[in-house]
Every structure is written in structure tokens, then in C-alpha cells.
Amino acid sequence: MAENKTQTKPFGFGDKLGYMFGDFGNDFTFILSSMMLMKFYSDVMGVSVGLVGIMMMLARFVDAFTDVTMGQIVDRSRPHAKGKFLPWIRRMCGPVAIASFLLYASWFANAPMAFKIFWMFFTYLLWGSVFYTSINIPYGSMASAISADPKERAQLSNWRTIGASLAGTFIGVVLPLIVYYQDEAGNQVLSGPKTSIAALICSAGAVICYLLCYNLCTERVKVEQKTEKFDLGKLVSGLIHNKALIGIVVASICMLLVQLTSQSMTTYVYPNYFGNTQAQSVSGLVGLVVTLACSAVSVKLSQKLGRKELAIFASLFGAIVFAIAFVLHTHNAWLFVVLYAISYVGLAFFSLICWAMITDVIDDTEVQTGSRSDGEIYSVYSFARKLGQAASSGVSGLLLTLIGYTQATAFDENVVNGIYNMTCLVPALGFVLLAVVLKFLYPLDKKRVDENARILAEKHGK
């Protein structure tokens, strides 16, 4: 059970800024992987895009164990002076940064293919399934310990998304200007050594951001250490019957299918289809601008309409814009940037409120069962997000393989037209699925969220 601590330090701007830096650090390595890893291994290391996609999907089976294990470790860890979750961020920030850098080992470009494939699998599992999990689970679980107030949690969700957008902006805007060069045929080609340098810079930035998160955030809601014996059957049964958790899990998979496919395909559609990496950089900036604009109204809109209701509207809006882009099939990179910016409104609103939605699920679980398991629930949610990442990578890798994308065919007309179609159709489908899941599978509408907050306020004496 969670109890409020005696008054320590009131919730304020420092918490929001610190929580923002936490996801800034996370996404320095996560978005780098989503946007650049497949491109790096296909174009620099010569590994099949299909194999890279398969690797990312197989890694998620490992995550089924590591995510839940880390959730149990967090729930059963003893609180320290800084709280229960913050110490993990300081412990693991170095290992996750080093593992991310090692993923982009361009110095092995001429090594035997078997070794390159081994290195890809080894470092990807080390980064994503071990070290990233060990910092992301406590970081995400920490939101409910920073504040018990639904409005303040919505603000944390907002600032977390801004942090992710800042990392995405750096990777999407700055990196394309650094890591590409023009070959003798005039094509924009990815440079292996420059990508390794960029990965090193992102890793250093991640460590700095994590330490800022550690020092600025305050855990003011006491989450007690779980001491009862772990019962896998009970855990699985509880998760199966938790409709709210199932709903947000499936919704997150759909959302990441949209987000990560859009991000990863920008590394193909701009240099290969449009031949314009400058437009790619501007496109990377679009995400931040749109997110900041939406963040100014997302808390008020979610309070007025409900988070579920706002997310459904935003998803349908995004699907319509991507469908228009597909029908137009434009060869004007700047028109595509405009359409991408408009479609991003749909993604931005859901991204801004989704972290508050998982705290809604944690609260609903406590109301329904009488017990609170922040780490356990968030670990399942984190695993779901990784499934979404795997689905995006797997779909992208499979479709790129089906349209015949290789180092040799990267600029063929049929291949680049297929890239454009994928960039539009996959996110459009993901948006539609997201709206359907939220409507029919996710039960936490505005009325139920408000009622849960009232019940828990009475329970904890607020």
C-alpha cells in the first residue's frame, strides 16, 4: 500500500523538469535505435533488413522475462533516502549508455558476416533487454511516487513526452546533417564512422540527462517494499483479468507501430525517395514543435474531455492525414513535411497523455484489488511498448525485404515508391487500430478515472 509522506518538498517545476530529463535520457538511445539501427546494419554493415527486423522481434521474447523480473526487483527493493525508484537511475545510467554506443561498431564493417550478426544480436540484447530495462522500469514506475494527484501526473506525462521530443529532435534534425555524405552518383549515403561518433554523443547526453533527473525529482509518495512470495500463476491470472491493463497494452503497441514506423522510415523515404536529407532534418524538428504546441492544451483538454476520449479523436485525425498523403503520392519533400507535421498532431496528443493513462491503470488496479504494484504493472506496460517496437521493426524489415530493398537496389524506382507507400499506409493503419482499441477495449473513461481518484483520496486520507 502507498501512503503519503509527511510534508517534504511540494510538487513543482523541478519535478516536471527532472522527469522530462529522464525520458530525454531514455530516448537518446531508444530513438537512435528506432531510427538508425536498421539503416546502419543494412547500409553500413551489409546485414539483411529482414534479419535486423527478426532480431528486434526475437529480443522481445527475452524482454518478456527481463521486464517482469525487473518489475519484481523494483517492487521488492528497499526504499533509500532518495526513494525507491531514483537510485536505479543513477546505478544504471552508465551501463545503458555504453551498451548503446557499442551497437554502432562501424569498425567491424569489414569483419566476417557471422561475427557482425553475432555482435548485432549480443549488443542489442545487452542494451535493450538488460540495461535499458533496468533503468526504464523504475523510471516509469516513479511517476506515481512523485505525486498522487491526477492533474500533476498528467503534467508529468506532458513533460515526459517533451523530453522524448527533445531527444527525437536532436536525432532527427542534427544527425541527418552529420551522418550522411553524397557518393559519386549523387546519392545520400550513410557514413559508418560518423554514425559511431553520433552514437557516442547520444550516449554521453543520455548520462547527463539521467543524472539531472536523479537530482531534480523527489519521491514524496511512499511505496512500500513487497515481501510476499512471488507467485507467477497469481501474477498471470491478475494480468489476464485486468481489462484496463490489457487495453493500454494493446493501445501502446498500436501507437508505437505508428510512431516508430514513421521515425524509422524517415531514414529511408527522405534520402532514398526524395533525395533530400535537409527535409529529413526539418521533419525531425516538426515533432518537437507540434508536441510543444499540443502540450499547451493537452492537460486542459484531457481534463475536460477525458484522456481516453481525446486519444480516440487524435488517432482518427492522424489516420486521415496519412491516408491523404498516400493518395497524393507527392514527389515534393516539403509538401510531405507539411503533411507529416499535421499528422503528428494525432500522435502528439496520445504521446502526451499516455504516461498519465498508465498511472490511471495503476490506480484502477488498486481500487479493484486493494493492492498496489507500480513496478509490476509498469514492467508489463514496458514489455508491451517493446512489443510495439518489435512490431514496427519487424513490419518495416519485412516490407522492405518484400519490396526488394538491399544495398544494391536502394535507389531503384520500384523500391523507392514502395518505401513511400509504406511510410504512409503502415502509420495510417496503426492509427485506426489505436482508435478501435481505445474505444472498445480500454475501459477507463473520464468518469471512471475521476471516481478512482476520489476513492483513493479517501483511502489514503487526503
**What is residue 229's predicted lDDT score, i.e. its pLDDT?**
59
The series of mean pLDDT values per 10 residues for the chain, 462 residues long, is: 55 92 92 87 89 83 80 77 86 95 94 94 93 90 81 84 85 84 81 93 96 91 60 61 87 84 84 89 82 87 90 95 96 95 91 84 86 72 72 75 84 92 92 94 91 83 60
**What is residue 393's predicted lDDT score, i.e. its pLDDT?**
67
Domain ranges of the chain: 12-224+234-459
387-435 pLDDT per residue, tens:
777 677 677 778 888 888 887 888 899 999 999 999 999 899 999 999 9
Cell of 256: 508505437
Cell of 120: 548485432
The rounded distance, in Å, linking the Cα atoms of 386 and 132 is 11
Task: Compute CA 170 distance to the chain's CA centroid, rounded to the nearest angstrom.
Answer: 15
Give the residue carrying C-alpha cell 539483411.
Answer: 48
CATH topology of domain 12-224+234-459: Growth Hormone; Chain: A; (1.20.1250)
The one-letter amino acid code at 269 reads V
**What is residue 224's predicted lDDT score, i.e. its pLDDT?**
60
215-267 pLDDT per residue, tens:
999 888 776 655 555 555 655 666 677 888 889 888 988 888 888 788 778 88
Angle at 373 between CA 208 and CA 215, to 5 degrees: 20
The rounded distance, in Å, linking the Cα atoms of 13 and 11 is 7
